[in-house]
Every structure is written in structure tokens, then in C-alpha cells.
Amino acid sequence: MGHFLQRAVEDITGVSPAKGELLRKELGIHNFGDLLWDLPFRYIDKSAISTIREAKSATEAVQLKGIFTDKHIEGNGHKKRLVATFEDGSGTLEILWFQRARDIDKWIVPGKPYLIYGKLQDYRGKFNIVHPEIEELTLNKTVTTGLEPVYHSTEKLVLRGLDSKGRRKIIKQLFSQLRPEELPENLPESIISKLRFFSRYEAIKRVHFPTSPEQLTAAKNRLKFEELFFLQLLLLRSKIKRETTIKGFIFGEVGELFNTFYAKHLPFTLTNAQKRVIKEIRQDMGSGHQMNRLLQGDVGSGKTIVALMCMLLAADNGFQSVLMAPTEVLAQQHFISISELLDGLDIKVAFLSGSITGAPRTEILESLKSGETTILLGTHAVIQEWVEFKNLGLAITDEQHRFGVAQRAQMWTKSPVHPPHVLVMTATPIPRTLALTIYGDLEVSILDELPPGRKPVVTTQRSEAHRSKVNSFVQEQIRLGRQVYVIFPLIEESAKLDLENLQDGYERLLAVFPRPDYQISVVHGRMKAGIKNEEMERFKDHKTQIMVSTTVIEVGVNVPNATVMIIENAERFGLAQLHQLRGRVGRGADQSYCILMTSYKLSKTARERLDVICRTNDGFEIAEADLKLRGPGDIAGTKQSGAFEFKAANLVEDQAILKTARLMAEDILQRDAELMMKEHYTLRQFLQTEYKYKQDWSRIS
């Protein structure tokens, strides 16, 4: 980035030291470059002004022009709010502020004209807008035409004049000083002409100040392509480098441990998907290059058996394996199930977590260093400096998105000769088209078949009117010896509300399922780990029949006797979350059920989401539906890309651009892997000097 863009924000006219400090604290904006790349998140067509009468039937946010005729503060403490009356000749509207009510009260002047922007809500037959965007119309200001950018802000920034209007003034000042050479081109001329892109300078200018929707789309497409193209270029270069230069241990032998386990210890017949994936992994581990593979498997598809058979392959070739899980509960469960499966085989398995200390830990560490222990299962404790292996050949990470990239990178340091083969597993299905591009440097294997004998979970949606029938059904299941999960949603804004919500639900359950006839376990996020584990163990040991939780039940927790899951306020959960939760039941031979409890009124999107989850148990179909249903900005589920945070692109919405970017990156690297051709000078220069993600973590799966 040029010297000009490194200048402090205070160097712009109108940004005082106090305002500069506020921009740093509230938005992380330190310099001109940060200002430039803090892009508008939406645009208002300032030529479109609705009347209050028209707005009452609008489904989207609207812009209104009018005056405040009255304002007053109501309530005390955390219930304090500013209530104002806004009118425009066609009707009146109530406007509410719950935060910084006194400051906003001082700023608003009744009788003065204002533009306000927000979405109308119908509350008990009375329309209002809560926390609208607001702009004073001075005598010499007319309503502008065209698209006006809206920037992220906070109440503190708004009160210091750094709302969207203030930010627009600052950006205009910045562009009055910014020369095109301060934003040098980073794409080859061939791509720019082929895709008919704006220059880099023109694109960023038009994103901040578009003159038409068509121009805005063209400018945004240029910036989106740029982000996705450089991500793909890095991932693909990394993959080529790994395949050509990083050697891997050769696991050439399928020996006694693998064959004995397959013939005598395997508790069920492998699915065709499991056989295919094991074959892919065997080819990787016998190639002489380091394996770097992602194993996607839907809930219950048998990833653990695949992982175990890969560890036996390593053992047959004289190497140790480690499997790292995100929580102690899950790691302990892997240890128990794998130890049981290997009972009778001559192979030592150990478990390591932060809670194991003193003599037991010393014994485990010495056994690893000597090579006596062949398979280690544990939490992130397995990658600490004091853990040494004799000859680590395979490193497996379960639910890899739960670990930081730097954490996973530590796995590579455990094997000084060659890096270990790497297998990363996730139970969160990612649409196939997206998986290949998010994980551009990984080979991808998919387990898309459930083991035989597994019955699909019967999923239904019920409202409060059916509560008594649902309770009767649960009582019947408990009489049959089954167990039940009851899940409450997280209310992200308030841990206190979470607990109140849980406590209310727990008390309602006690009224229907009284002691001593029924026993209920409770788990929530503010519990100490020891107490939480104890409660979960009580449920696993069938000492309690009902498990109540505000947190998502740990991924992978396996209680085959739990056959019913009730999800309260199911409309608040995303599709991927609902599918993950449902996967906690249906793990035994008995028919299992998932009941989605909802309010009477459901939005169209919520209804479509629940219809999908009731219709299918296929995680990949659900992931595809999730992509179609998910709105702008809500890309929770695609954060698996980890180190990459996009300013313009959206992995969910911009798949067409993503595919084009990948194809063009592949084409360039096939012809010029080192980017040494004259036509690729701009690419090489940008990667070496400006690219903010040049710390190359991408080779670490």
C-alpha cells in the first residue's frame, strides 16, 4: 500500500484528534487506506421519498421527510427510551430510541425538517420505527438524487457527526487528494479487457459514489472478483508448491493391524462411500507427497471409522497418529469408542487433555516420545510444545473450523523429517461447488451415505397449541426407556436472558415431569466445565431422562438411547444449526424424532427453512437450500475460510464470480506457476507488497 494511504485519518480536513480516536476505537479505522476500504454496506435512493401513509404497507425500509412535533423520555434505568412523534402531512408515526436517549433528545429539534430512514413495525396496531437513520435538512439543502452510500456506524460516532453523512464528507475529501497512481493496478490487462472491468481506482471511487445502479454493480463486481481471484491464486499456488516440493511419508503397506481390524473387529459393513474415501486416502498416503485432505461427512456418516482405519494404516507402516478434537467431552468420547473398537489388538491408545496433570501426564508423554503409544486422542493439549512424538505420520483434526489456523499449524512442527499427512474432518456439509473453492488447496472427500440400519429421524414442526400432545409423546417415550433433549436458543445479546429463558423452560418442564418420577440434567454456557461434564455424564449414564440446554449440544456427543429432540423457538435457528442438533438423535437402532416448536406467527423465510428441515435428512441438500434462502450479509456457515475476511465479496452470493476467478487463476498458474512472465508482473508485485493475506497459512489445512 502506498505511503499516501498509510497517513493517519486526522490528516483529512474535518477529522479532529478526538474524532480520529473514535474511528479507531469504534471501527478500527486508523489511516486513509482503512477509510477507503471500509465500504458502504448499502445505498439509499435519495430521490425516493415515501409518505407515512404509503410506508404503512411497505415491506422494506423506507425514507420519509417530515418534522418532529413532540418528544419525551419515558421509563427508568435500562427501560429508559426516547419517544418522538414524526409527521409529514399524510399521517403520524412514533419513533423510538432505546440507546443514548438523552443525547439524541438534545440533538432533535421539533419543527425542523428531517429525513429519516428505517423499517416500519406494527406494534399492537400502532406503527413505529426503532432507531432510524436520521439526517437534518438545512435551508440550503435539497433532497439529493441518485444513490447515497450508507456506512457502518455506532451511536457514539453519530453523536460526533460521524454518521453516514459525515463519513461521505470525509470520503469526498479523501478522493479530492487521491491520485490514481496511489491505487496501482493489480490485475493483468488481459483480465481487465476480457471482463470489461473498471480500473482499480475507478472501481473503488464508483463503489463509494455511484451515479447509477448499473455503474455500482460493475464497480462492485470488479472489487469482488479481485478479492476472490487473489484468494484462489494463493490457495492454488500453495497446492502446486505442496504437491511438487513437500515430501510425505510413504505408507506403502496394508498390514496386519488394518487387515485384522477389517476382518474381525469392524462392527458393521462399510458403506460404499466409506470404502471410496479410504481408497482415496490410501492413494494419497502412498504417493510420496504429503496428504492434505478434507473429509466432509454428514451427521452420522461414519467419519470416525474412516479416521481409525487411516490411523491403523499409519501404524502398519511404523508411524504414530494423533486426532485432535475441539472439546474434552468429544475427545474423551473418541478415546472410549476407539479403545473399545481396538480391544484385543496389539496397539496402545492414549488420551491427553489440559486436565491431565502430574504423574499420569508424564507417563503419557514418555510413552509418546518412546513410540510405545501409537494413537493419541485429545484436545488442543496435543499440540503444546511439551508434547513430543517419536515418529508422527498422520495428524487428524475433527471439526477443524473450531481451531485457529495457527493452532493447526503447530501440528507440522511435531514431525521434523517430513510434515505428517493431514486429514481434517467436518460434520458441517458445505455445498460441493463451494467446498472446492473455499478449500482450494485441499483435496475433498465426501461421505454422502449413512451406515445401513440407521433410520432417518422423523422431523415435525409444532406450535404452542400442540404443547400438551408433545408432552404426552415425551412421557410415552420415557416410559419406553428412551431419553430426550430439550434445546433453547441462544439470545446472543444477553447471557442473562439466556439463563432466564432456560430457567423459565426448566420450571415449565418440572411442572409436567416432576421429581422423583423424572430426573432432568441442565447444561448452559456459564457453567464451569467440570459441572457441565458431570451433567452430561449423568445423561449419558441414563441417570437423567431429559437434558435441557441453552448451548448447542457438543458436536459428536453420542447417546444412542436419546431418541427425541425438542428444539424450542426453532425459527431462531439457522438450517445448518437445526441439522447439526437433529444429528444428536437417531444414533441407535430405535426410531428417533425431532420436534421443532415455534410461535404461531412465522415469517416466510422461517417457514421455508423449517419446511426444508422437515422434508429431508440429507445434509448436502440442506446446505444447498441454505445457500438459496440465506439473505445478504448472513453468511454464518461459510466462515470456514478462516483467515480470509472479505470487504466486497460474499462467498454465498458470489459463486459465479468465484468460479470465474478460480478458472482464471488456474489458467495463469498452469502457464506461469512462479508468475515470472512480463504480463504477470502486476500480480507478482501486488502479492509481494500489498496483499494483506500474504502470511501464507493456506498450506495448513
Kindly state whether residue 9 falls inside one of the protein's structural domains.
no
> How far apart are the C-alpha atoms of 334 and 556, rounded to whole Å?
9
On the 0-12 / 13-18 / 19+ scale of CB atoms within 10 A, 531 is: exposed
Q: Are residues 505 and 394 in the same domain?
A: no
CA-nearest of 492, 482, 486 to 549 is 486
Neighbours of 283 (CB within 10 A): 11
> How far apart are the C-alpha atoms of 94 and 84, rounded to whole Å?
6
> How far apart are the C-alpha atoms of 701 and 697, rounded to whole Å?
8
> How far apart are the C-alpha atoms of 686 and 252, rounded to whole Å?
42
> How far apart are the C-alpha atoms of 624 and 694, rounded to whole Å?
31
On the 0-12 / 13-18 / 19+ scale of CB atoms within 10 A, 438 is: buried
Task: Look up residue 238 and give its three cell numbers.
Answer: 500453495
Kindly state whether residue 308 falls inside one of the protein's structural domains.
yes
Residues pairing with 295 in the sheet? 425, 445
Cα angle 33, 37, 39 (rounded to 5 degrees) comes to 145
Helix, strand, or coil (residue 230):
helix
Kindly state whether residue 36 falls inside one of the protein's structural domains.
no
Helix, strand, or coil (residue 260):
helix
Question: What sign does the dihedral 243-245-246-252 (CA atoms) show?
Answer: positive
| pLDDT for residue 496 | 60
Residue that is last in its domain, among 91, 108, 143? 143
| pLDDT for residue 532 | 83
Q: Are residues 536 and 487 in the same domain?
A: yes
3-state secondary structure 639-688: HHHCCCCCCCCCCCCCHHHHHHHHHHHHHHHHHCCCCCCHHHHHHHHHHH
- The residues, ordered by sequence, that sit 6+ positions from 181 with a Cβ below 8 Å of its Cβ are 2
| pLDDT for residue 701 | 43
Question: Is 546 in contact with 513 (CB distance < 8 Å)?
Answer: yes
| pLDDT for residue 638 | 33
Q: How far is CA 492 from the centre of its chain?
A: 15
Q: Provide the CB-side half-sphere exposure for 465 (13 A, CA).
A: 3
Structurally, the chain folds into a number of domains equal to 3
112: left (phi over 0), alpha (psi -120 to 50) or beta: beta
Question: Is 633 in contact with 192 (CB distance < 8 Å)?
Answer: no
- The string of DSSP letters for 341-397 reads HTTTSS--EEEE-TT--HHHHHHHHHHHHHT---EEEESGGGGSTT---SSEEEEEE
| pLDDT for residue 593 | 97
On the 0-12 / 13-18 / 19+ scale of CB atoms within 10 A, 26 is: middle
Kindly state whether residue 345 falls inside one of the protein's structural domains.
yes
| pLDDT for residue 433 | 56
| pLDDT for residue 668 | 96
Q: Are residues 416 and 278 in the same domain?
A: yes
> How far apart are the C-alpha atoms of 577 and 579, rounded to whole Å?
5
> How far apart are the C-alpha atoms of 72 and 485, rounded to whole Å?
47
Q: Are residues 436 and 462 in the same domain?
A: no
Kindly state whether residue 632 falls inside one of the protein's structural domains.
no
- The residues, ordered by sequence, that sit 6+ positions from 437 with a Cβ below 8 Å of its Cβ are 232, 651, 655, 658, 659, 662
> How far apart are the C-alpha atoms of 691 and 416, rounded to whole Å?
30
Question: Is 403 in contact with 409 (CB distance < 8 Å)?
Answer: no
Beta-sheet strands, E only, within 448-545: 458-463, 483-487, 520-523
Q: Are residues 412 and 278 in the same domain?
A: yes
Neighbours of 676 (CB within 10 A): 9
Q: What is the CATH number of the domain that holds 92?
A: 2.40.50.140
Instruction: Tell how strand 133-136 and strand 113-118 pair up.
Output: antiparallel
> How far apart are the C-alpha atoms of 342 and 364, rounded to whole Å?
19
Where do we find the cell 512442527? Answer: 413
What single letter denotes the amino acid at residue 68? F
Computed on alpha carbons and rounded to an integer, the radius of gyration of the chain in Å comes to 29
Residue that is last in its domain, among 616, 641, 656? 616
Q: Are residues 386 and 287 in the same domain?
A: yes
| pLDDT for residue 141 | 55
Question: Is 549 in contact with 487 (CB distance < 8 Å)?
Answer: yes
- The residues, ordered by sequence, that sit 6+ positions from 632 with a Cβ below 8 Å of its Cβ are 650, 653
Q: Are residues 426 and 551 in the same domain?
A: no
DSSP run (H or E) holding 130? strand 126-130
| pLDDT for residue 267 | 84
- Range(s) of the domain holding residue 376: 256-447
Q: Are residues 268 and 412 in the same domain?
A: yes
> How far apart are the C-alpha atoms of 465 and 454, rounded to whole Å?
32
Q: What is the CATH number of the domain that holds 442?
A: 3.40.50.300
Task: Look up residue 70 and give its three cell numbers.
Answer: 413532540
Residue that is last in its domain, among 415, 447, 479? 447
Residues pairing with 599 in the sheet? none
Kindly state whether residue 208 falls inside one of the protein's structural domains.
no
For the chain, 701 residues long, the average pLDDT of each consecutive 10-residue run is 81 91 92 92 82 82 91 84 92 88 88 89 82 78 68 85 88 93 92 96 95 93 94 85 84 93 90 95 92 83 93 96 88 91 94 93 96 95 91 87 57 81 80 62 81 85 93 96 90 56 85 92 81 87 91 66 93 85 85 92 86 88 74 31 65 84 94 93 86 47 43
| pLDDT for residue 495 | 57
> How far apart are the C-alpha atoms of 342 and 312, rounded to whole Å?
10
Kindly state whether residue 628 falls inside one of the protein's structural domains.
no
Question: Is 386 in contact with 256 (CB distance < 8 Å)?
Answer: no
What single letter denotes the amino acid at residue 103? D
Q: Are residues 395 and 489 in the same domain?
A: no
DSSP run (H or E) holding 74? strand 62-74
| pLDDT for residue 432 | 58
> How far apart are the C-alpha atoms of 562 and 477, rounded to whole Å?
10
Q: Are residues 443 and 546 in the same domain?
A: no
Distinct helix (H) and strand (E) counts, the chain: 24, 22
Helix, strand, or coil (residue 593):
strand
Q: Are residues 403 and 520 in the same domain?
A: no
Q: Are residues 466 and 589 in the same domain?
A: yes
> How far apart are the C-alpha atoms of 106 and 665, rounded to whole Å?
55
> How far apart are the C-alpha atoms of 135 and 270, rounded to whole Å?
65
Kindly state whether residue 701 falls inside one of the protein's structural domains.
no
> How far apart are the C-alpha atoms of 665 and 668, rounded to whole Å?
5
